[in-house]
Amino acid sequence: MAYETKNDTGALFTNDRKEHERQPDFRGEAVVNGVKVEVAAWRKTSASGKVYLSLKFQAPRERDSKPAAKPEADFPF
């Protein structure tokens, strides 16, 4: 039986695939008010020298085995 995240809880794990500074130091997921969200966290230091985590929450992305389709030729970019 797979683990299921309980309501209003979540977990973060070290991002072992981090390749660039802008990518999060930690990634995970949470369930808030019954809605699953992805969580990303960056380790930062404030102007006063205190270390903190900056968080970002977003709706889960669809994960396909196929790469995303290229835009149609009509697009100007």
Give, in order, the Cα–Cα distances in Å from 57 to each of 14, 28, 32: 16, 10, 10
Mean of the per-residue pLDDT values of the chain? 86
pLDDT the model gives residue 68: 53
CA-closest candidate to residue 28, choices 51, 63, 55:
55
Residue 72 in tokens: 């149609």
Q: Which residue did the predictor score with more confidence, 55 or 61?
A: 55
Residues contacting residue 51 through CB under 8 Å, at least 6 positions apart: 43, 44, 45
